[in-house]
C-alpha cells in the first residue's frame, strides 16, 4: 500500500501508517526502508535517511504515543490503545534530549509534578499520558530538518531521521497544544481508524479521505438503499 497524507497534520499522518487498528492491523512501516521512504513522501527530507531496526522502533514508539495523545484529545479520556511495534524500552529512551517542549509546560506542568500515568489540560479534560508526553517532548527537542532556498519555488530539505521525527513531533505538539485539538476526528468508515483534523466549513467532515473511505461509504449506502 502507498502512503497517504490526508490527516491535515504530520503527526496524524504518521499515526495513519497503521490502518484498521481495531481489526486486522495493517502496518505500512514494516521495514527501516519503509520508514526512510515515508520521510521523503511526507516532504520532510529530499533524500531517504539511513535507518536501521532501532530507528524503526523509535519511530513506531513516537507514532503510537502520538496516536494515544490524539485519541485522548478526541475522546476526553486516555486512550486504551495497545502499543504497537514500539520495540524494546530502550527505543523510547533515545528519541532526543533537552528541556521539555511547549506542550509539556502548557498541558501538563513540570514532569515531576504530573500524576503518575496521566496529565490533564488546565480545565481538567482530555488527560494525556505523562510517558507519551515525555516521549513527544524528547523527539521534538532535536533540531528539525534544514531548509535552504535554491531557486524560485525550489527548496532543499536535509537532515537525518531524528530531524524528520522532530518535525513530526513538533507538528503533533502544535496541534494538540492548540485550538485545533478539539477538531481531531476519527474516520467513520469501517474498518478505517485514521485520525484527522476536521477543518471543513461546518465541521461536518466524516471521512479521512473522500476519494477513498468517503466514496466507499457512499457507494455502500447507495447499494443498501437500492436493494
pLDDT in tens for each of the 227 residues of the chain?
689 999 999 999 999 999 999 988 999 999 999 999 999 999 999 999 999 999 999 999 999 999 999 999 998 876 655 445 444 444 554 565 443 333 433 333 333 333 334 555 545 554 799 999 999 999 999 999 999 999 999 999 999 999 999 999 999 999 999 999 999 999 998 899 999 999 998 898 988 987 778 566 665 664 666 77
Q: Which domains does the chain have, with CATH numbers?
A: 10-226 (1.10.3300.10)
Per-residue confidence (pLDDT) for residue 188, from 0 to 100? 92
Per-residue confidence (pLDDT) for residue 223, from 0 to 100? 62
- Return d(Cα 58, Cα 40) in angstroms, integer: 18
Per-residue confidence (pLDDT) for residue 111, from 0 to 100? 34
Per-residue confidence (pLDDT) for residue 104, from 0 to 100? 38
Amino acid at each position: 500500500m502507498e502512503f497517504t497524507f490526508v490527516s491535515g497534520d504530520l503527526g496524524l499522518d504518521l499515526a495513519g501508517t497503521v490502518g484498521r487498528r481495531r481489526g486486522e492491523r495493517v502496518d505500512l512501516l514494516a521495514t527501516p526502508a519503509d520508514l526512510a521512504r515515508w520521510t521523503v513522501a511526507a516532504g520532510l527530507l529530499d533524500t531517504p535517511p539511513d535507518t536501521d531496526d532501532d530507528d524503526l522502533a523509535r519511530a513506531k514508539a513516537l507514532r503510537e504515543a502520538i496516536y494515544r495523545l490524539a485519541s485522548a484529545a478526541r475522546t476526553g479520556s486516555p486512550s486504551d490503545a495497545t502499543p504497537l511495534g514500539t520495540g524494546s524500552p530502550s527505543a523510547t529512551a533515545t528519541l532526543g534530549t533537552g528541556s521539555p517542549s511547549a506542550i509539556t509546560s502548557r498541558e501538563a506542568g513540570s514532569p515531576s509534578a504530573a500524576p503518575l500515568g496521566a496529565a490533564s489540560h488546565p480545565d481538567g479534560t482530555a488527560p494525556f499520558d505523562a510517558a507519551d508526553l515525555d516521549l513527544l517532548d524528547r523527539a521534538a527537542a532535536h533540531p528539525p530538518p534544514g531548509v535552504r532556498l535554491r531557486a524560485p519555488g525550489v527548496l532543499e530539505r536535509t537532515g537525518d531521521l531524528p530531524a524528520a521525527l522532530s518535525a513530526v513531533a513538533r507538528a503533533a505538539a502544535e496541534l494538540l497544544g492548540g485550538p485545533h485539538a478539539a477538531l481531531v476526528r476519527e474516520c467513520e468508515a469501517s474498518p478505517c481508524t485514521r485520525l484527522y483534523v476536521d477543518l471543513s466549513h461546518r465541521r461536518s467532515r466524516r471521512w479521512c479521505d473522500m476519494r477513498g473511505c468517503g466514496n466507499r461509504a457512499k457507494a455502500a449506502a447507495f447499494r443498501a438503499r437500492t436493494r
